Structure 1
C-alpha cells in the first residue's frame, strides 16, 4: 500500500525513544511499503530529506507552504522562493508540490494572501509537471475559485477529503483530481462512507495524515503510517470490496498520480 500523506518527520515521532525511522520500519512491516511526505514549511525540508536518505525506495517527498503556516507577510515571498528552488533542484526526489491550499477554519484574516500563495504554488507545479497536494478546510469555494482562475491547471489530490457527493461533483467539474481518504472515514458519526461510491475508483487514494487523525481503533493516539490498513478496511467495507482489492487499487492510483 501507499500512504499518500504522512508527516513522519514530525517531532511527534522523536519522543519516548521512538524515531521517524522506526515509524517507517513499522509501516513497511504492516504492508505500507511507500509513503509520500508533504512538507508544510521550508523548516521541514532537512528532516524530510534525512528520512528519504535512509529509505530511498520507500519515502517520497513533496514540498510546499501550508496555508496555516504562513510566516510574517514580509517573509512569505522568500519562503516561496526557497521552496521553489528546492523543488527545481530536487527533480526526481520531489513527487508533488504540497501541502498547499486554503484554510479558513483557523484564520480568515489572511484570505487574500492565502489565495495568492496557493495560486503561485499551483503555477510552479504546472510548470514543473508535478501534481499538487491540496489542503482545503472550510474553504472549498475559495479553493475552487483559485483553481478555476489558473492559466494551466495541475493535476492533484484533495487530501483528507471528507466532503459530500455534491463536493465531489464540484471538484470534478473543475479538474481531474484525486481524493485522499484517511482515518476520518472510520469515525462513528462519519458520513464519508456514503460519499465513497461517488468517487471514481481510479481517483481514490488512502492516507493517514499522521501524526493526526488516527483511525478507529487507534483513535486518540498518535497516528502513523502503519495504521493505514484500518482505513483501507473501512473503505473496502463501504465499497463492498476486500481490503486487498483496495490496497491494489489505491496503490495503482498513487503510482499513477505521483509517478512512483
Structure 2
C-alpha cells in the first residue's frame, strides 16, 4: 500500500545495538510509513563508523553525519577534531557535522572542555561549509552565546530535540538557516510544546525521532523508530491546522534545504 505522504527523519540512531537484530524490518516499516530519507548523527568515532556502514548498506535512504557528542568530549577532543578535519578535506559521504553541542544535564565539571570542543566543530563547519546537528541540554544560554559569536558566518543546521519555551525558540530562530527539530515530546500529554509552536513558523521545523529514545504517544514505553514519525505529523497537523500531507511536505523541503548534500 502506498504511503499517504513522504517525510524525512532528520535524527535517528538506528545504527545502534538496539536495532541489530531487526534493522531490515525497521527500514521496511519506515519506508511503508512514508520515510523518504533518514539521517544518522553519531556520538563519537565508533558510532560514526556504524552510521557510515548503514548509509552504505541503504544508499540514498540513510545518510551519515560525523561529529563528537558533548557527552563524549574528553581531553583528546582536538585529536578527534583533526581526524574529522582530515575526513572532510577529501570527497566524503557525510552530510553534516553532528551530533555536537553542549550538555550540562548530568555534570557541569567539563563545561569549559565541552565549549572548546563545540567551538572547534563550529570552526570545522564554517571551514568545510557543512550543516550542523546541534544538541543542547541545560545549556541554552551558553549555546546562544556561542552561536552569536559566529553569526557573521552563514551556517545551516538543526537545534535537535527542541522542547524549550517560547522565548528560547525566539532566541534560536534568530540564527537564519537553522531549524528546530521536533520529535515525540510534542505528543506528550503534559508537553508545553504545542503552545510554544503556535508562534513558530512551520518553515522553521524539521521532523525527528531520536530513536530509540523519545517514542511519541501512543508508542510511549516502546523502542522508538522512524516509522513512528506519522504520530508527530498528526500532532503538528492539529497545531498548525493543516493537512498531514502538507506538514510532511513542508518539513521535508525544510530538511532538504538545510542539508544540501542530500540527494
TM-score by length of 1: 0.93
Call closer, same or farther: CA 1:88–1:23 in 2, change over 3 Å: farther
Q: Which residue in the other structure is 2:28 paired with?
A: 25
Distance 1:106 1:249, change over 3 A: same
Following superposition, the deviation at residue 49 of structure 1 comes to 1.6
Q: Which moved more, 1:93-102 or 1:150-159?
A: 150-159
SS in structure 2 of the partner of residue 193 of structure 1: helix
> Mean alpha-carbon deviation: is it higher for 36-45 or for 145-154?
145-154
Runs of 4+ in 1 over 4 A off after TM superposition: none
Residues paired across the two proteins, number: 254
Match of 2:11 in 1: 5
- SS of equivalent to 2:136: strand
Q: Distance in 2 between matches of 1:160 and 1:45?
A: 20
Query: Contact (CA 8 Å) 1:119, 1:147: kept in 2 or not?
Result: no
5 Å matches for 1:29-178? 29-71=32-74, 73=75, 75-91=76-92, 93-150=93-150, 152-178=153-179
Give 1:90 shift: 4.6
Q: Deviation per CA, 1:93-151: give whole Å up to 9, x if none.
A: 21111000011111100111111111110111111111111101110100111111236
Instruction: Give the 3 Å change call, closer, same or farther, for CA 112–100 of structure 1 in structure 2.
Output: same
Tell me which residue corresponds to 1:244: 245
Mark the runs of 5 or more structure 2 residues left unpaired by the alignment. 1-6
1:65 Cα deviation after fit? 0.4
Equivalent position SS for 1:160: coil
TM-superposed CA distance for 1:172, in Å, is 2.2
Contact 2:103–2:139 (Cα < 8 Å) also in 1: yes
Distance across 1 between alignment mates of 2:195 and 2:65: 30
The Cα of 1:36 is off from its aligned counterpart by 0.7
- Residues 1:124 and 1:2: Cα distance change in structure 2 (over 3 Å): same
Q: Summarize deviations over 1:179-215 as a string: whole Å, max 9, x none.
A: 0000000111000001112222211111000011000
